[in-house]
């Protein structure tokens, strides 16, 4: 490194590239942790900017920082929040378990940029990363605060809106397919009739309930650990600081955050992150189930179920001309597996707190945001590039339902289970319909068959009676 400046920390001098805003501690971390090449999701960096801005305003209000220092920190933090300085955060996700390296990365970048704003040299520490930007704070309470802020922002502003789009798409198909009667299936075997719309209504409700599950975890994530400092006691912090800082964080995000009920719990354990990600895992599982079902229903197109026609998103094979695959559904399947992996990491990491500190903060934060990003993105493309473009093969659905042995179910209340089973078996062996066999065996008349074996009527509650 030839084009560098010298910065100092408590361990001595460090060579830092001239054209960056980070300082000595960040440079040490970059050199110490060349592990994955994976840096934090932008939402986490944004959260750090929001917290540092809010802390500066709170400390200014409490009289600990001069207004010119507050103003410079706020301007620099705004650049972090907007994403202008995202390239200044190059510390690997796999680092010190408290996230101290990333907290200091934010402190140094904001301090150096603030120095520049007030006309001082980068590295001069006229505005100091610890004494000013990090005043009244510790990595041990700031990183989990950023975890909660970024997690809840991503749920509120990315995941839920994306799921609303998916729910709307499914709801439209529920209505569009409401008159398409088809064979229901349990254990992948023929069952009593259902409408294609009813199937899609079930999918819609899965997503609807997923949104509610995410709403239910908002309260836990809205608690912020800020103010606990090193171990939860709040040493070196004004008692009013967490409430004031939380107020500013809420103003910045539009989300009603509040101080944690118990700072020792908030720093030593991350049950809220585990709880919230479990809700994300369920959402991903719901989408996976829907994707699998639609792949089955679209299978074929000639030698499968073929009850729905899938969109032609792209050629499906490099060797088989004309082949079309359910690629969007397969993307959903793969996202689900990644989310399951993230969930395992978060569940284990959240449970591994030791005494006053959980040391899995960085990976918890990043895996959570990875899940919210890929769930949000895949939900939208699944809705817009697959579900919206599906059409029903109504003729095939209705032709197949007539051949279902499960139609005999509606006869059981009238002729008994054993006779109905005999009719179903006879129909299967002789390749006839239940209707044909029931009439041939003299169990029902043709007129009764019209009413008692009406597949459309079977899609509604009740016992089918002859209307004569």
The per-residue pLDDT for range 66-80, each reduced to its tens digit, is 999 999 999 999 999
pLDDT of residue 467: 65
pLDDT at 292 over 80: yes
**82-109 pLDDT, tens digit each:** 999 999 999 999 999 999 999 999 999 9
pLDDT at 24 over 70: yes
Task: Using CA atoms of 236, 242, 248, 249 in order, give the dihedral in degrees to the nearest 10.
Answer: 100
pTM for this model (two decimals): 0.95
pLDDT level of residue 383 (50, 70, 90 thresholds): very high
The per-residue pLDDT for range 45-63, each reduced to its tens digit, is 999 999 999 999 999 999 9
The question of whether 138 is a catalytic residue gets the answer no
pLDDT tens digit string along 316-327? 989 999 999 999
H/E segment holding residue 184: strand 181-186
- 303 C-beta neighbours (distance < 10 Å), count: 7
Q: Indicate the helix (H) or strand (E) that contains 8.
A: strand 4-9
pLDDT confidence bin for 353, thresholds 50/70/90: confident
Q: What is the fold, at CATH topology level, of the domain defined by 403-458?
A: Ribonucleotide Reductase Protein R1; domain 1 (1.10.40)
Selected catalytic residue, list 187, 274, 286, 410 = 187
What is the per-residue pLDDT across 121-156, written as a single tens digit (0 to 9) for each?
999 999 999 999 999 999 999 999 999 999 999 999
pLDDT of residue 51: 98
Q: Is the pLDDT of residue 25 over 80?
A: yes
> What's residue 464's pLDDT?
81
> Is it the case that residue 39 has pLDDT exceeding 70?
yes
pLDDT at 303 over 80: yes
Fold of 4-135: Fumarase C; Chain B, domain 1 (1.10.275)
Each domain of the chain, given as residue ranges in start order, spans 4-135, 144-180+189-213+250-391, 403-458
Average pLDDT of the residues in 360-386: 98
Q: What is the CATH number of domain 144-180+189-213+250-391?
A: 1.20.200.10
List the catalytic residue out of 36, 124, 219, 317. 317
- Check whether 1 has a pLDDT greater than 60: no
Report the SS3 class of residue 360: coil
Q: What six digits make up the tokens of 448?
A: 């009764």
**Long-range contact pairs involving 119-126 (C-beta distance under 8 Å, separation at least 24):** 122/5, 122/21, 123/5, 123/6, 123/7, 123/16, 123/23
Percent of the chain with pLDDT over 90: 95
Q: How does pLDDT run across 244-254, given as a tens digit for each residue? A: 999 999 999 99
What whole-number distance in Å separates Cα of residue 189 and Cα of residue 204? 23
| pLDDT above 60 for 468 | no
Q: Read off the pLDDT of each residue in 368-384 and give the average, rounded to a whole number.
A: 98
Note if 317 is an active site residue. Answer: yes
């Amino acid at each position: 490194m030839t084009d560098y400046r010298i910065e100092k920390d408590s361990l001595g001098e460090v060579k830092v590239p001239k054209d960056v805003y980070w300082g000595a501690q960040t440079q040490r971390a970059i050199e110490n942790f060349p592990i994955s090449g994976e840096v934090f999701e932008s939402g986490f960096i944004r959260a750090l900017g929001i917290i540092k801005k809010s802390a500066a305003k709170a400390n200014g209000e409490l009289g600990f920082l001069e207004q010119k220092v507050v103003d410079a920190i706020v301007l620099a933090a705004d650049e972090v929040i907007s994403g202008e300085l995202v390239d200044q955060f190059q510390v690997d996700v796999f680092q010190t378990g408290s996230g101290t390296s990333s907290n200091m990365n934010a402190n140094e970048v904001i301090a150096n940029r603030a120095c520049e704003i007030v006309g001082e040299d980068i590295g001069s520490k006229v505005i100091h990363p610890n004494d000013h930007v990090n005043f009244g704070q510790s990595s041990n309470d700031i990183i989990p605060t950023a975890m909660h802020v970024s997690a809840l922002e991503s749920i509120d502003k990315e995941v839920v809106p994306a799921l609303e789009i998916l729910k709307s798409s499914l709801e439209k198909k529920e209505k569009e397919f409401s008159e398409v009667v088809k064979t229901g299936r349990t254990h992948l075997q023929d069952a009593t009739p259902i409408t294609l719309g009813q199937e899609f209504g079930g999918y819609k409700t899965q997503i609807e309930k997923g949104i509610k599950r995410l709403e239910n975890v908002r309260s836990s994530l809205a608690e912020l650990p800020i103010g606990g400092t090193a171990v939860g006691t709040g040493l070196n912090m004004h008692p009013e600081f967490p409430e004031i800082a939380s107020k500013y964080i809420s103003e910045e995000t539009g989300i009603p955050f509040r101080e944690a009920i118990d700072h020792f719990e908030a720093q030593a354990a991350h049950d809220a992150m585990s709880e919230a990600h479990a809700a994300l895992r369920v959402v991903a599982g719901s989408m996976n189930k829907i994707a699998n079902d639609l792949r089955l229903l679209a299978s074929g197109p000639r030698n499968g179920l073929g009850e729905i026609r899938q969109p032609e998103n792209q050629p499906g094979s490099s060797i088989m001309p004309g082949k079309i695959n359910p690629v969007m559904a397969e993307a959903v399947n793969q996202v689900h597996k990644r989310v399951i992996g993230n969930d395992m990491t978060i569940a284990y990491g959240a449970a591994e707190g030791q005494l006053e500190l959980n040391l899995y903060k960085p990976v918890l934060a990043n895996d959570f945001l990875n899940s919210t990003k890929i769930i949000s993105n895949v939900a939208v493309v699944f809705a817009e590039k697959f579900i919206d473009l599906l059409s029903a093969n109504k003729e095939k659905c209705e032709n197949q339902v007539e051949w279902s042995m499960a139609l005999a179910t509606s006869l059981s209340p009238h002729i008994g289970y054993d006779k109905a089973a005999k009719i179903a078996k006879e129909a299967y062996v002789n390749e006839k319909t239940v209707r044909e066999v029931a009439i041939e065996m003299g169990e029902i008349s043709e007129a009764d068959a019209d009413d008692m074996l009406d597949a459309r009527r079977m899609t509604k509650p009740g016992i089918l009676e002859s209307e004569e």
